[in-house]
């Protein structure tokens, strides 16, 4: 509906508060490390507002942050906090996330946090991956699973099963697409216009294949 974003906003707010609280309790009074990694806020937008997005699934969220942080720590150890460290670490993080199938944009912030790290983060080294990073991510994901399922959304996301349709050649109207999107009640990270264009392009391929089959000479 028109206020479908409200579900995500409330869930993300509670999740970030919980993640911050648990991080604060775990780290105690140690001022050297952040008890809430800033990029968790960006991750929360995806997990709670776009839970159907491939970028918001548990492995991309968890794997990306840890891989990116490790790369940042390594780059910082070799080059220190420089402009070259920033560019190299982000490029390497994107490559690694793509190869490991855990692409998650907020991790681009995490890699910079460790590549251009504060003295406390630099001193923690790879230990930063465990505390507070892994703790933050696990709490956020746990809250994401609980909240999305509580509010009737599939997370981790699985597309609704569809019955096998008999051979059919026709045209999908805009109203048909709107009706299905309303039934699914998911915010997809693709515009309605692009989705409609995709459906129409698939229809065109189906029609072309049918036409080629019909016109093919029989032996």
- What is the predicted pLDDT for the residue at 187? 61
Q: Distance (Å, rounded) from C-alpha 118 to C-alpha 167?
A: 61
Q: 2 or 156: whose pLDDT is higher?
A: 156
When mean pLDDT is compared across 41-50, 137-146, 158-167, 180-189, the lowest value belongs to 180-189
pLDDT confidence of residue 183: 63
Cβ pair 45, 61 in contact under 8 A: no
CB 18 within 8 A of CB 40: no
- Token duo for residue 71: 């790369």
Residue 167 has pLDDT above 80, yes or no: no
User: Which 3-state string (H, E, C) describes the chain?
Assistant: CCCHHHHHHHHHHHHHHHHHHHHHHHHCCCCCCCCCCCHHHHHHHHHHHCCCCHHHCHHHHHHHHHHHHHHHHHHHHHHCCCHHHHHHHHHHHHHHHHHCCCCCCCHHHHHHHHHCCCHHHHHHCCHHHHHHHHHHHHHHHHHHHHHHHHCCCCCCCCCCCCCCCCCCCCCCCHHHHHHHHHHHCCCCCCCHHHHHHHHHHHHHHHHHHHHHHHHCCCC
Give the Cα separation of 200 and 214 in Å (integer): 21
Average pLDDT over residues 164-192: 66
For residue range 101-157, what is the model confidence (pLDDT) as tens digits?
A: 999 999 999 999 999 999 999 999 999 999 999 999 999 999 999 999 999 888 998
What are the residues whose beta carbons fall under 8 Å from the beta carbon of 214, sequence distance 6 or more? none
Per-residue pLDDT band for 61 (boundaries 50, 70, 90) equals very high
Which pTM value belongs to this model?
Answer: 0.81
CB distance 49 to 106 below 8 Å: no
pLDDT of residue 153: 86
**Which of 18-27, 37-46, 123-132, 195-204 has the lowest average pLDDT?**
195-204
172 Cβ contact partners less than 8 Å away, ≥ 6 residues apart: 199, 200, 203
pLDDT at 154: 85
Q: Would the pLDDT of 25 be above 90? A: yes
Per-residue model confidence (pLDDT) at position 196 = 65
In the chain, pLDDT over 90 holds for what percent of residues?
64
212 pLDDT exceeds 90? no
Asked if 115 and 89 count as a contact pair (C-beta separation under 8 A), the reply is yes
């Amino acid at each position: 509906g028109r206020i479908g974003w409200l579900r995500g906003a409330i869930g993300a707010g509670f999740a970030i508060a919980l993640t911050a609280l648990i991080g604060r309790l775990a780290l105690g009074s140690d001022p050297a490390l952040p008890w809430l990694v800033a990029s968790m806020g960006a991750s929360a937008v995806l997990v709670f507002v776009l839970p159907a997005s491939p970028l918001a699934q548990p492995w991309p969220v968890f794997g990306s942050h840890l891989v990116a942080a490790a790369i940042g720590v390594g780059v910082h150890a070799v080059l220190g906090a420089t402009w070259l460290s920033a560019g190299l670490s982000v490029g390497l993080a994107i490559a690694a996330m793509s190869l490991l199938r855990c692409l998650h944009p907020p991790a681009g912030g995490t890699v910079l946090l460790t590549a251009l790290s504060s003295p406390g983060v630099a001193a923690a080294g790879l230990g930063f991956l465990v505390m507070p990073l892994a703790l933050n991510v696990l709490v956020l994901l746990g809250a994401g699973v609980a909240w999305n399922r509580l509010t009737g959304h599939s997370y981790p996301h699985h597309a609704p099963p569809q019955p096998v349709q008999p051979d059919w050649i026709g045209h999908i109207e805009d109203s048909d697409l709107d009706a299905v999107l309303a039934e699914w009640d998911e915010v997809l990270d693709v515009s309605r216009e692009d989705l409609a264009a995709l459906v129409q392009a698939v229809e065109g391929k189906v029609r072309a294949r049918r036409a080629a089959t019909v016109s093919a000479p029989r032996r």
